[in-house]
Amino acid sequence: MEFSLINTQIQNFDGDCVVVFSNSEADFADANIQNLIELNHFESKAGSTLLLNLVDGFKAKQVIVLGMGDVANTAKNYIKALTVTSGVLNTIKSKSVMIEALEIEGFDEKWSHRIAARVLQNANYEIEKVGVEQKIEVIENIAIQSSNDNAHELTQGHAIASGMSLARHLGDLPSNICTPTFLADTAQSLAKEFNLECEVLEEADMSKLGMDSLLSVSKGSIEPPKLISLSYVGNGDAKPIVLVGKGVTFDSGGISLKPGAGMDEMKYDMCGAASVLGTMRAIAQIQPKINLTIVVPTVENMPAHNASKPGDVVTSMSGQTIEILNTDAEGRLILCDALTYVEKFNPKVVIDTATLTGAVIVALGKHHCGLMANDQDLADDLIAAGKSSLDTAWQLPLDDEYDELLKSNFADMGNIGGREAGSVTAACFLARYTQNYRWAHLDIAGTAWVSGAKKGATGRPVPLLTQYVLDQI
């Protein structure tokens, strides 16, 4: 699918289909279309569509009218409309499409170009089924009406969609395919494709570095653990932005075994890893003047005769000791060693993203990511990037009072803080390893995938992270 800008009247476009937007309270500029809207009693509700064939005065054979709700064109309705458009275009097998220009409340034209390319490309994502061939894309080119000829934003939107598609693909793969080794191979092929620096540490390397906290999670699994680093260098030797992604390719809970219902969804416990790989893909495609490093600690969390047991004490790479009170609080055990390891990159900032706690779903549901940080400017920048990419984060507190809940009689800290404020105590645990740099944590347990009939990965927070990185240029 290719995107371009086109400076022509909708009536003169001679491709397959023209897409136009309609408000419930304003007349449409083209009288023929206005008549057909009335004839069909089309109410222009947000997300509704009307397909018109052979409209007088139009060179294209088909016109799709998209409902945008009330007069103000909101960003949310724009995304809704574009998503359904993709479905209709595929059904009517349109190859070349023109989309009418539209002003969105609170955003500029560049934003709407970037979002259009991202949403339309992303709507074409298809779950790769084992043993089933992927369908070929129907839509070949989409031209967006504009008097501007700078298509840079379309490239960005397309790159973000391709990062999201990688993240969704990795998330949706079953854990018998998407293992830590598979994630390492994925990183290596990204490195080849985009000329990035890649390093993969094996179990023995990590053991030498003293990463016994990370290794305590993987030791009950037959799958070897990996620590992946991947760097994009676009700005000489400037300090890099470092993104760390939790890569638990399956979280059974370990000896503190999870209940059976819905346990399949713990294949998604590597969505933090998937999102930083996706962000790297987007950035490597856009090629901005910035340095970005991603680090992925990846393991499988399984019960076994040689697995960690509740009450075991381990020493992390930082030297701090941890009493593993619950083997299901494993994300923080792998992240803490990765967060110590990243100091070697002399990071400008460190942002980790992790499906860390069920508690964040109780607190925020499935709309916002949970955000916690040791630096308010960084938190504010991430909130802003979330708003402009429509991939939002909501900040939770990180006061010392919460940190006290991690007290242990047998080590420097326990790995759980009890029933209250589970997302915050998890972040307090991580904060003990991030004192030497500006750091933020995104808990994406509620936003990385959807359950139920439409079960699947969302590709979040690739848009937020990519936007944040681009905002730093």
Query: Between the CA of residue 407 and those of 46, 231, 324, 328, 415, what are the distances in Å?
Result: 51, 37, 12, 18, 9
251 binds Mn ion (CB under 5 A): yes
Cβ closest to ligand BES, residue 278 vs residue 414? 414
* Residue 328 is a binding residue for Mn ion (CB under 5 A): yes
- The residue among 27, 4, 460 whose CA lies nearest residue 245 is 460
> Which of Mn ion, ligand BES, Zn ion, none sits in contact with 307, Cβ below 5 to 8 A by type?
none
Residues between 254 and 273 with contacts to Zn ion, criterion CB under 5 A = 269
- 404: DSSP letter: G
The entry of Zn ion, ligand BES, Mn ion, none that residue 403 binds, CB within 5 to 8 Å by partner kind? none
Count CA atoms closer than 13 A to 159's CA, side-chain side.
22
Binding mask 387-416 for Zn ion (x = CB under 5 A): ------------------------------
Which residue in 226, 332, 432, 460 is the catalytic one?
332
Q: Which long-range contacts (CB under 8 A, 24 or more apart) does 469-472 make?
A: 469/241, 469/279, 469/283, 469/288, 469/290, 469/292, 470/156, 470/283, 470/286, 470/288, 471/381, 471/384, 471/385, 472/241, 472/290, 472/348, 472/381
DSSP label at 110?
H
Residues within the interface to ligand BES (CB under 6 A): 251, 269, 326, 328-331, 355-359, 416, 422, 445
Q: Is residue 258 annotated as a catalytic residue, yes or no?
A: yes
> Helix (H, G, I), strand (E, B), or coil: what is residue 196?
coil
Minimum separation from the CB atom of position 310 to Mn ion (A): 13
Cβ proximity to Zn ion: between 48 and 216 the closer is 216
Q: How far is the CB of 415 from ligand BES (least distance, A)?
A: 8
From the candidates 45, 61, 258, 438, give the one annotated as an active-site residue.
258
* Shortest distance (Å) from residue 408 CB to Mn ion: 19
Please give the Cα distance from 441 to 431 (Å, whole number): 9
Q: Is 246 a catalytic residue?
A: no
In whole angstroms, the minimum distance from the beta carbon of 244 to ligand BES comes to: 15
Task: Establish if 251 lies at the interface with Zn ion (CB under 5 A).
Answer: yes
143: partner contacted, choices Zn ion, Mn ion, ligand BES, none (Cβ within 5-8 A by kind): none
Q: How open is the CA angle 388-394-399, to the nearest 5 degrees?
A: 140
Which one-letter amino acid corresponds to residue 133? E
Q: Please give the positions annotated as active site.
A: 258, 332
Residues that bind Zn ion (CB under 5 A): 248, 251, 269, 331
Contact positions vs Mn ion (CB under 5 A)? 251, 328, 330
